[in-house]
Amino acid sequence: MQVLLCFLLTFTVCEFTEFYDLYPFYGGNFDYSYFPRAPCGESCETPCRQCPPSPAPPRPPQPPQPPQPLPPQPPPQRCNKEYLVIRKLANWHQAMERCKGMGSQLVSIPNEQEWVEVKKAIVLAGSPANYWTSGTNLQQYDTYVWATTWEPFTFRNWAPGEPNNWLGNQHCAFIKARHFTWDDWDCNGLHYYICEKFRGNSDQCQQSPPCQTCSYSQITY
């Protein structure tokens, strides 16, 4: 009997020692890391392994958004102008048509730099006369525009007191070449005129006004 009790006591102590070695306690807190962890979704008595969060359900497809309108773009600046100084008399309407017949248009002067180039062309032509431009207020009497683009004047070089619409029938603008100023006149009056045309791929010029590459030449008839 004593031998049996010793055997049982020894077995119990050994079993407890082996259990402690395999599954130690730390300060009274049991370390469960030695236990196998149950797969996710299965219930378990012991702590389960950490599972990644379930993915969020896909969002329902959104209806396509209507395209946003683009902001208005300024018209491209056309460069490389060629000025044709025509020393033939014509009224304003004839000058418009004759320039078109040559593949050009009656001159417009939207900025100071182009005004400088127009004056150079007149000087090279050697003819200090009067020249029609495309400026007119026939469409609206209180506003002068360039008839080739219908853009209102933003640069002006009127002579003092002009435009005065003398006798109520002066609605077209011309250049007084002797003084390099502008004046209004009866559109049926006769003056020389200046045509302009654009070279190469000038319609694609996107430089900010005034154009930085404008050039000129002059042809006289």
Q: Are residues 28 and 119 in the same domain?
A: no
Query: Is residue 134 within 8 Å of residue 105, measured between CB atoms?
Result: yes
Residues 153-172 pLDDT 10s: 999 999 999 999 988 899 99
- Domain assignment present for residue 165? The answer is yes
Percentage of the chain surpassing pLDDT 90? 41
Q: Nearest to residue 159, comparing CAs of 176, 141, 142?
A: 176
Within this chain, do residues 94 and 196 fall inside the same structural domain, yes or no?
yes
Q: Looking at the structure, do residues 110 and 6 belong to the same domain, yes or no?
A: no
Same domain, 97 and 188: yes
Comparing C-alpha atoms, which of 98, 186, 89 is closest to residue 138?
186
Give a yes or no: residue 59 inside a domain. no
Place of tokens 């306690």: 25
How do beta strands 81-90 and 29-30 pair? unpaired
Question: Do 112 and 27 sit in the same domain of this protein?
Answer: no
**193 shares a domain with 110:** yes
Quick check: is 62 in a domain? Answer: no
Question: pLDDT per residue over 36-95, tens digit each?
Answer: 444 544 544 445 556 667 777 788 787 777 777 766 655 555 557 889 999 999 999 999
* Beta carbons of 141 and 101 less than 8 angstroms apart: no
> In this structure, is residue 67 part of a structural domain?
no
Domain span including residue 145: 81-204
Judge whether 209 lies within some domain. no
Q: Is the pLDDT of residue 12 over 50?
A: no
Per the structure, the count of domains in the chain is 2
112 in the same domain as 16: no
Q: pTM to 2 decimals?
A: 0.59
Across 100-114, 172-186, 205-219, least confident range: 205-219
In a domain, 215, yes or no: no
Q: Where are the alpha helices (DSSP H) in the chain?
A: 2-22, 92-101, 112-125
pLDDT at 23: 44
| CA–CA separation, 88 and 195 (whole Å) | 12
Q: Is residue 19 part of a domain?
A: yes
Residue 184's CATH number = 3.10.100.10
More confident call, 68 vs 188: 188
pLDDT above 60 (res 140): yes
CA distance 122 to 85: 7
